[in-house]
Amino acid sequence: MKRLQALGSGVAAAALAVAGLGAAATVGAGQASGATAASTALGSQWYAAAPYLMPTDNNPPDATAIMDATGLKAFQLAFILAPNGGGCTPTWSGTSAVSSDTAVGGVISAIRAKGGDVSVSIGGYGGTKLGQACSDAASTAAAYQQVINKYQLKAMDFDLEEPEYENTAAVAHEIGAAKILQQNNPGLYISVTTAGTAAGTGWFGQQMLNEAKSQGFTPNNFSIMPFDGGFNGAAAQTAALTAFNGLLKTTFGWDTATAYAHEGFSGMNGRSDAGEYFYQADFQTVLDYATSHGMARFTFWSLNRDRQCTPPDNQTTSGTCSSVPQSDWEFAKFSVKFAGATPPTNPPTTPPTTPPTSPGGGGTCTAAQWSASAVYTGGNEVAHNGHLWKAKWWTTNEEPGTTGQWGVWQDEGAC
């Protein structure tokens, strides 16, 4: 639910240096390189399996090295936002105009030169989304069409999160834009990703589904992110996926199989923003659930995090490593399996079976338990789900562990 956009930030030039792209980074403004122009769409299952990658932030890894190590062919590049200074034009992370980009274009060219492809994700957690900045669905779609044209895209992800998905008009603009793009770009693969809860998704997620139904829009899949909401491990995630299947059925009138065929999973590898832990075994369990139920998508946040922290750190959440024991790109191999391919065999890493204990933890929480009806002010501490939380400002009925890194509750660790 909460995408770690701000951790370990980098710059576009650094991304190119990390990726070792050299001459591939010569994509000029408004035009594609030869590799981009000559690209051929992958099968839809690869777009459905594409993990998220920030190509210019969070210490971006070499995408082509990941392809060599895992067999992965598709990447979900994140995120397209409105300009930080305002306006209805697409940028990377609010700062780098798509129209003049060469950095991300170089990454795309390198991926395509090795037989892969990309989807581009719009939105994410935080920042100003184009659905908020643009005046209507048509202008929102026109902004996204610039991205499609620039990179000759065959897939796009609408990642509808806070604060945009709480804005009824913005959600209507995004869903309307997605429908227009679907009509104007035949065969365009579209996923819609939103927050996950134990009930499948929350009030705002249901509002988004209702908007899609009212506009007569059906994407390739609706995906939920079952993390940062009191989840821990695969059992809680598969339960949420089952619940979400029920919401899809009641909203659209689908039977169970049809709902699963339009349902996706977007996980978070390792330690989440809220201190939940998702190990390799959890990913395998959810993968088995997804494939056995005929689900339409299996992805995760993020490839930037798909490596062990150096030095090992299991007590904090990072945008550049997973905070769990692993070899590089272990989680990417689950996406490869979902796409129907067989990843190379590497020596397995045996993860711990229980989350680590925070320094100073191990006892019971001494602070009062959080109450949905109570009012808290800045500095107040509460206990919730085995963690100590401190309010940054006035709040009521906002559950600790669901507000993310930039929300009202600060996670002070296990207790």
DSSP letter at 294? T
Nearest to 156 by CA among 130, 201, 123: 123
- Whole-number Å distance between alpha carbons of 282 and 285: 5
305 closest CA partner among 285, 291, 326, 319? 319
Tell me: cis bond preceding 79? Omega within 30 of 0 counts: yes
Q: Which of 114, 106, 113 is nearest to 35 (CA)?
A: 113
* Closest residue by Cα to residue 122 from 100, 146, 86: 146
Packing angle, helices 234-252 and 280-292, rounded to 10? 30
Name which of 360, 359, 412, 352 is nearest 388 in CA terms: 412
Name the residue with tokens 């500095």.
379
Count other C-beta atoms under 10 Å from residue 83's C-beta: 17
Residues 78 and 123 sit within 8 Å (Cβ to Cβ)? no
Which parts of 253-380 fold into alpha helices (H)? 256-260, 280-292, 332-338
Going from the C-alpha of 84 to that of each of 3, 9, 100, 262, 276, the distances in angstroms are 18, 16, 16, 34, 31
Helix (H) or strand (E) holding 191: strand 189-195
Residue among 107, 99, 102 nearest 83 (CA):
99
Query: Would you state the structure tokens that stand for residue 342, as one six-digit string?
Result: 């067989």
Catalytic residue numbers? 161
Q: How far apart are CA 103 and CA 100, in angstroms?
A: 9
With tokens 């249901």, the residue in question is 206
